[in-house]
Amino acid sequence: MKITVFGIGYVGLVQAAVLAEVGHDVMCIDVDESKVSNLKSGIIPIYEPGLTPLVQQNYASGRLQFTTDAKAGVEHGELLFIAVGTPPDEDGSADLKYVLAVAETVATHMQSHKIVINKSTVPVGTADKVKAKLSATLTQLGKTDTFDVVSNPEFLKEGAAVNDCMRPDRIILGTDNPKAESKLRELYAPFNRNHDKVIAMDIRSAELTKYAANCMLATKISFMNEIANLAELFGADVENVRRGIGSDPRIGYQFIYPGCGYGGSCFPKDVQALIRSADGVGYAARVLEAVEAVNYAQKEKLFEYIMRHFDGDIRGKTVALWGLSFKPNTDDMREAPSRVLLEKLWVAGVTVQAYDPEAMEETQRIYGSRDDLKLMGTKESALAGADFLVICTEWQAFRAPDFELIKQSLSEPVVFDGRNLYEPQRMLEYGLHYYAIGRGLSV
Ligand code: UGA
């Protein structure tokens, strides 16, 4: 099938590459000329395991094309995906200007029936706005072409995006036209390996499904972080509690890992956007407001432990910081808990020696050169000459470090762990003070 994807961001690029891989003929459109020319030369704008060869091979085979030519894109695809960004505007609502701009472009150039598919995470009611934009533009231009609008939200996780897209748990299709639904079923047929993954429904339910999924996951995390905070105060160990409750299949083990808060481009933005949308229909989303508030406070947790340990006297110290990305296997720093910590440490007069396996360049891009930030080439060199160690991201490479080296390198034998990577008893044996989330303040 002939597909066009508008927006070569995370979702657009991965989706396009995966659709090309199963044999569809995919054209990607973006306004960013340098991104397009980089992709043509095999340079992928994001770090995502497995994505580079997938893009390069499919580009070489001609099944995946990149261009800035929107007119060519509209002509090419029978199915047109909108996968542009929906950044939060000032009050946290999703900003639809890029989505609606694509709708206008489509209406301007279309010469035949098109199925317009919303992949971007968009508030409930957006499909209606896209339809209205398409209709208004067509009328303005005196055109009589017809179209369908479908909601088909994406559920991929950064760091596992290719696999999530290749082997989706579910494919949500929100349509009001059986013909469009049948086209989309045909498009996704290669992904129904073991059973039919398609769950078809009305458009508004599909739009809400996306927000409900992310908000549910964010709720699990904030809930668990609250239990971790209580465990600390009660003298319990949240890791035992986690194992204890996860064993109930109604609760499950996933997304109940306590930590220094959730980050990324999705949970913070989507929780906020649903709160704003709820507000717009006169409903106070109290659970979601609490989820957000708990997460905000949780991102300050490591700094609080540090201040408590050093009695507020940290000016002039040097910290080794392991992990900058918002989670492992990505270089993405958007809303990363490390950023809240970095910025608080700098205000307090601390120099940071940071190491991350992938996010060093991104850190440099965000913060530029500054005397109180040293980007180190290895986790070991980050320790050299540091006073204490903080961990913000659970990269595999941090799971079994040389504890002797940690102890010898630090002037104070203390580790603040925002991801609960180590056993407190083991740390005690190594002679290291250890602060973890919800496991007792220090052992
Ligand atoms: C999330 C969802 O998991 C995807 O299903 C969804 O498609 C995506 O948002 C999106 O809307 O595009 P992502 O943001 O890539 O994916 O990352 P997650 O793996 O969900 O992690 C989000 C944050 O939660 C990370 O900061 C992670 O450290 C934190 N987290 C996760 C915890 O603190 N505890 C957990 O138990 C799990």
In this prediction the pTM is 0.93
Give the chain's length. Answer: 443
Report the alpha-carbon distance of residue 406 to residue 412 in Å, rounded: 10
Q: Which of 200, 203, 175, 207 is nearest to 96 (CA)?
A: 207
Residue 155, marked binder:
yes
**Is 327 annotated as contributing to ligand binding?**
yes
**Cα 267 to averaged position of ligand 1 atoms, centre (Å):** 7
Instruction: Report helix angle 267-280 to 203-234, nearest 10.
Output: 120
Give the ligand 1 atom nearest the CA of 264: 14
Q: How sure is the predictor about 93, in pLDDT bands with cuts at 50, 70 and 90?
A: confident
Where does residue 431 rank: exposed (0-12), middle (13-18), buried (19+ CB within 10 A)? exposed
Residue 414 has pLDDT above 90, yes or no: yes
> 88: which DSSP letter?
B
Q: Is the ipTM of this complex over 0.90?
A: yes
Q: In this structure, is the dihedral angle defined by the CA atoms of residues 140, 110, 123 and 49, taken in order, positive or negative?
A: negative
Question: Tell me, what DSSP letter sits at residue 304?
Answer: H
For ligand 1, mutation pick of 262, 271, 330, 396 (most atoms within 8 Å of CB): 262
* Section 94-109 average pLDDT: 95
**Ligand 1 atom 13 nearest Cα:** 157
Are residues 187 and 217 both part of a single domain? no
Shared-domain flag, residues 340 and 381: yes
Split into its structural domains, the chain has a count of 3
269 is in an annotated binding site: yes
The CA 215 to ligand 1 mean position distance, Å, reads 10
Buried/exposed 394-403: b ≥16 CB within 10 Å, e otherwise:
bbeebeebeb
- pLDDT tens, residue by residue, 340-368: 999 999 999 999 999 999 999 999 999 99
The pLDDT of residue 408 is: 97
Q: Which atom of ligand 1 is nearest to the CA of 327?
A: 28
* 284 shares its domain with 303: no
Q: Is the pLDDT at 440 greater than 80, yes or no? A: no
Residue 443: predicted pLDDT: 46
Domain check: are 290 and 303 in the same one? no
pLDDT at 288 over 70: yes
Domain check: are 146 and 249 in the same one? no
Q: Is residue 386 part of a domain?
A: yes
Residue 443 lies in a domain: no
Q: Which domain holds residue 74?
A: 2-201
How far does CA 107 lie from the centroid of its chain? Answer: 31
Token pair 């489509």 in the structure block, residue: 106
User: Ligand 1 within 6 A of 191 CB?
Assistant: no
Residues in contact with 99: Cβ distance below 8 Å, sequence separation at least 6, in sequence order: 82, 84, 86, 118, 120, 122, 126, 129, 130
What span, in angstroms and rounded, lies between the C-alpha atoms of 12 and 287? 31
Which residue, 371, 319, 327, 324, is CA-closest to 345?
A: 319
Mean of per-residue pLDDT scores for the chain: 96
At 52, which CATH number? 3.40.50.720
pLDDT score at 441: 60
Question: In this predicted model, what pLDDT tens digit does every residue of 197-228 receive, in sequence order?
Answer: 999 999 999 999 999 999 999 999 999 999 99
| Co-location of 167 and 25 in the same domain | yes
Cα of 76 to ligand 1 centre, how many Å? 34
Tokens of 433: 């003070």
pLDDT single digits (tens) 128-185 = 999 999 999 999 999 999 999 999 999 999 889 999 999 999 999 999 999 999 999 9
What does the block give as tokens for 6?
């508008």
At residue 442, the pLDDT reads 53
pLDDT tens per residue, range 385-397: 999 999 999 999 9
Same domain, 162 and 239: no
Q: Which are the catalytic amino acids?
A: 266
Question: Do 236 and 334 fall into the same domain?
Answer: no
Contact 438 CB / ligand 1 (< 6 Å): no
Mean pLDDT of 297-326: 97
Ligand 1 and 63: CB distance under 6 A: no
Say whether pLDDT at 91 is over 90.
no
Instruction: Quote the ligand 1 centre to 420 CA distance (angstroms).
Output: 17
Q: Please identify which residue in the block is written with the tokens 């704003």.
A: 276
Burial category of 46 from C-beta neighbours within 10 Å (exposed 0-12, middle 13-18, buried 19 and up): middle
Average pLDDT of the residues in 317-342: 97
Of the pLDDT bands very low, low, confident and very high (cuts 50, 70, 90), residue 194 is confident
- The stretch 333-339 carries a mean pLDDT of 97
Residue 119 located in a structural domain: yes
